[in-house]
Every structure is written in structure tokens, then in C-alpha cells.
Structure 1
């Protein structure tokens, strides 16, 4: 698989980023950088999404807000769109850093 495609796929799904980090591909400059950065991004996506889900469930134990379950879907969709955008930028070989 070519390096640009592997770097881009590591942002779209988390499995290629884990593959990059756990194998010797992490020693390559371009693929290693994007693999580690994508794994960090997916870690933050999981923390943000499940933290929001936990807060929403906590809120629902107190009182129910109609249609608030759609915000969970929109948050997940927005985070995935951002990850896909980062994958697109990695495929174009633009150097960028995810804000942290």
C-alpha cells in the first residue's frame, strides 16, 4: 500500500493508525508522523464522544430533553467529518498538526 493512502486511511478509521504505531512503519517519517497523530486524534474522538454520551445519560436520569439524542449523532458525525478532512489533507501531503 502506498504511503499517502495509508496515512489518509489512518485518519478515516483508527485501525490503520494502530497498525502503523505497532509495526516498523512508524520509523518512516511521513507515515509514522501521520499514524501517531491519527491515533492521538482517534483517542480524543473517543474521549469526547463517550464523555458527551455519559453526560447526556446523566442528564437523562434527572430529566428528559426531547430530541437531545440527535445531538449525539451530530457530534459523532462532526468528529468523523473532521477526521476525514485530516485524512484528505494527509493524502495531499500537506504538513499539518492537529491542535491539542
Structure 2
């Protein structure tokens, strides 16, 4: 993971097994929000933001063409008893769209 300042976003990074597992865990919520079947669904890059836990901003391919979403995910601090949650989704993204805070 890249060096980061508290509150700032890291540079984009390749997806780790942990990030892909989070994306898979949240798939039912994504399906519900998008209200369409997803024939392709995997993360390709992400940025993170250290807060009272961790925000992840994840680019996910959801279609065969240039069809992507950006997910904002919150992972609480260990020991908090809370689960990872889907905070927001940006639709209509393309491969070369920069992942930014939203």
C-alpha cells in the first residue's frame, strides 16, 4: 500500500485479495442499487483514505465494454464490532476515469 497522510487519498494501486474480497462481500448491495444483472464484476484499482477506519474508493468493471462503477466503502477499525459497508456508488464510469473522493 502506498504511503498516505491521514485524511488524504493514496495514489491508485493494483487490487489486493483483501480489496477483491470486500467487493465480493458487497455484491448483493451493489446489485440492489444498480438493479441490473452483472455478468462481469471485479475490482481493477483502488485508492484509500485513512480516517477513523478506512475509506476505500474502488474501480469495478461491471460490463463487457467500457462500463465501470466507482464504489466508496468504509471499513471500520478492528475491534469495533462493525462490518464493512457500502457508502456510495458512482455509475457511468470509464476505464480511464480517475478515482476521486466522493
Larger helix fraction of residues = 1
Greater CA radius of gyration, 1 or 2? 1
Larger strand fraction of residues = 2
TM-score range, shorter chain: under 0.3
